[in-house]
Amino acid sequence: MKVINRKFSAYLDDMQIITILLPKDYFGGSSSKFSIRKMNRDEYVLLTIMNRMPLEKSVKYTCQIEEKLVIGEQYWVIDEHGEKTDLQIGAVIRTAAFDKEFFYDGLLGSFYHSDHTLFKLWAPTATKVKLKLLPTDTSKSEIFHSMMRKEKGVWHVTVKGDLECYYYSFQVFVNLEWREAADPYATSVSLNGEYAAVIDLNKTKMTKPPLPLFKQPTDAIIYETHIRDLTIHSNSGIINKGTYLGAAELNTVAIDGTPTGLSYIQELGITHIEFLPINDFGGIDERKDTDEYNWGYNPLHFNAPDGSFSTAPSNPYARVKELKAMIHAVHTQGIRVIMDVVYNHVYIRECSSFENIVPGYYFRHDEFGMPSNGTGVGNDFASERLMGRKFIIDSVMFWLKEYEIDGFRFDLMGILDIETMNEIRKAVDSFDPSILIIGEGWDLDTPISADKKACIRNQESLPRIGQFNDWFRDTVKGSTFHLDDKGYAFGNVHYYEAAKQVLAGSIGMEKTEAGLFHSPVQSVNYVESHDNHTLWDKLAVCSASLSKGTRQKQHRLATVMVLLSQGIPFLHSGQEFFRTKKGEGNSYQSSDEINQLDWDRKSFFAANVIYLREIIRIRKSHGAFRFSNQKHIREHMCFLPAEEPVIGFFLNDVDEYGDWAKIIVFFNPSFSQKTVELPDGLWLVLADDQTANVKPKRKLEKNTLELPPICSYVLVSK
């Protein structure tokens, strides 16, 4: 890269405001006047000095120019001493005026045809742009094409000939520096995402099989997994371990002959599989077979599948076709696919295509002009900027249409802004209103105002967008971040009243009572996910003095609470067979031994798996467990009198939603037997402390019930 020696610096910080920094070792930082001219022109315009401020090592001049400068043209700033410096693009790029002038609502990327390919790039601050092509024949040298600037700072070039499987990048000239970057809109990439690839997506088309009817978000049962976790175990029975194709394999079995992989998930009764990131990410070297592991929260290219899960990562078609084959296989089992998307940050800001193509635009900066870090990884994506928002919406719709994705889980959604999330919901609804949108609504320290963050506190402004309910999580199991803290399911009566509220969808059971959410479709109920310790590993700490059998009962109780609460239930893969990561609380790049789904463990704990599979069937069998609005919850759900810590909720007059007119669910987290009284009627048992089934196993002869220690019961009546 060319080194630029500037005696002083000048920045365009607003459409007509220029900031000039004169070092104090350069004429004492003093200049009585400044002028500006276009490069290769002799016409000078005098700047008005509005303010002069001494800094530690320089003097800052804030100047105004009456005429409007043309962004994309090169200018020189001249001081009273006759020295000149180039006018660099500064904070102007983060102004509303810049957004308004350069917002482009058209298509971007590469557009392949057998006899030509069109390339379009948004780079309004660039003064020159070149397309770099790398032929498939490696004996040929690189080819360069100058691109033409057109409307809204979009650069175009049409290259004749068949460019299929060519790799390409853009070279962008900004602030007198050439920067190289892959296309942010790339649909496939080379090894490790170094270059974008030209492919014909028409050659990868598949027909989506019909899926079961899906009426409302609360009908979902989400199962979160990672492609490598799901397939890599030595006894998974899966041939293509660690790959898209492995996750697509059907009829695979464990050593005991019972299903594993996708067939197992289908048997479990799951409606939606949520895969950890499958778009191109950093952290794994795709150039070699490797045991490297990463969750995938290091996004490089948002519209291209990752190569580490492909059997042929050097082939730009393979990763696309194999991912589509996996999604198709999931659909053939009547299961929908949720994609974990990470639009809140990039892997390394300085190396990202966004920063190299339009420096300073796509990321938030603090009041000192430094990149903000609400994500904790060094950068926050500026979703509120018009072209940032457009990119996210374009990307979501690309995955929705091209890969036939059925839902999106937004990582650190609280970094994004409300308007962007609602625009995503609107765009998705125009295609398919049944698409699920859920996200992590954590309130993070990023430089947008509190009322604009897509976080839980602003849920009323985010209708039909689900939020991971940390109140549910910490109420049921205790604090995620303090392993010693026990939740309601582990016998802590301090969480008793909160447990009632979260069981009811966190909507506030009284009309005068404000809940955490306006609607149960906003509450994603969970006690375990890929993040932090598994539930079993937390129990190993907070219930260390208890036997493994007792801990298993506590674990089951917490999981049943997830499955029978109002809202959207979410399970971490392997939770149903007491998944352990050997005490590791942050396994984002740990070994397979830590992260893999242990299919031997699934076989060993088959009784628990069967019990929870039947609880899932019970939930799916009756709509009263799946109300989609607070009105129905408040009308039909109430809590029965019971001695603490027992909770009994009563679903009354619900025959229009299923086979049963009345349903009672009891939870007893205590270490002793508890007696509860039942409302009048003939009560049948669907689930007790031993077994569960959608068909009643017995009827109760008395109007009282003895609840064994640490158990859940489901009773029904016609």
* Residues labelled catalytic: 411, 440
| Tokens representing residue 75 in the block | 């200018």
The answer to whether 341 and 277 have CB atoms below 8 angstroms apart is yes
Helix axes 386-402, 418-429, angle to 10 degrees: 30
For 520, list phi and psi in degrees, rounded to 5.
Answer: -65, -20
Q: How far apart are CA 667 and CA 203, in angstroms?
A: 54
Length of the chain: 718
Could you give the 3-state DSSP secondary structure of residue 301?
strand
Pairing of strands 662-668, 698-699: unpaired
Per DSSP (E only), the strands in 165-323 are 167-174, 177-181, 196-197, 222-225, 272-275, 279-281, 299-305
Q: Are 325 and 312 in contact (CB under 8 A)?
A: no
Residue 134 and residue 168 in contact, taking contact as beta carbons nearer than 8 Å: yes
Distance separating the N- and C-terminal Cα atoms of the chain: 78
Alpha helices in 333-408 (DSSP H): 353-357, 386-402
Rounded Cα distance, 8 and 21, in Å: 6
Query: Which residues, 6 or more positions from 341, have their beta carbon under 8 angstroms from its beta carbon?
Result: 277, 279, 302, 395, 396, 399, 408, 409, 410, 411
**Strands 48-54, 109-113: pairing kind:** unpaired
Residues contacting 241, CB < 8 A, separation 6+: 231, 232
Contact 132, 78 (CB under 8 A): no
Query: Who's near 715: CB < 8 A, 6+ residues apart?
Result: 663, 664, 665, 666, 678, 683, 684, 685, 686, 700, 705
Cβ neighbour number for residue 82 with a 10 Å cutoff? 6
DSSP letters for 554-616: HHHHHHHHHHHSSSEEEEETTGGGT---TT-S--TT--HHHHS--HHHHHHTHHHHHHHHHHH
Indicate the residue type of 655.
D
Q: Are strands 9-14 and 637-639 parallel, antiparallel or unpaired?
A: unpaired
Return the exposure string of 652-667: e unless at least 16 CB atoms fall within 10 Å of the residue's CB, then b: bebeebbebbbbbbbb
Token reading at 562: 């997830």
The CA-atom distances, in angstroms, between 389 and each of 75, 125, 186 are: 30, 18, 17
Cα separation of 153 and 202, whole Å? 29
Contact present, 121 and 357 (Cβ < 8 Å): yes
- Helices 606-621 and 548-564 sit at what angle, rounded to 10 degrees? 20
Helices then strands, each counted (H, E), the chain: 16, 35
Whether 76 and 36 have beta carbons less than 8 Å apart is answered as yes
CA-based nearest residue to 363, from 341, 380, 351, 384: 380
Cα separation, 360 vs 530, whole angstroms = 33
233-267 in b/e form (b: 16+ CB < 10 A) is bebbbbeebbbbbbbbbeebbbeeebbbbbbbbbe
Identity of the amino acid at 457: R
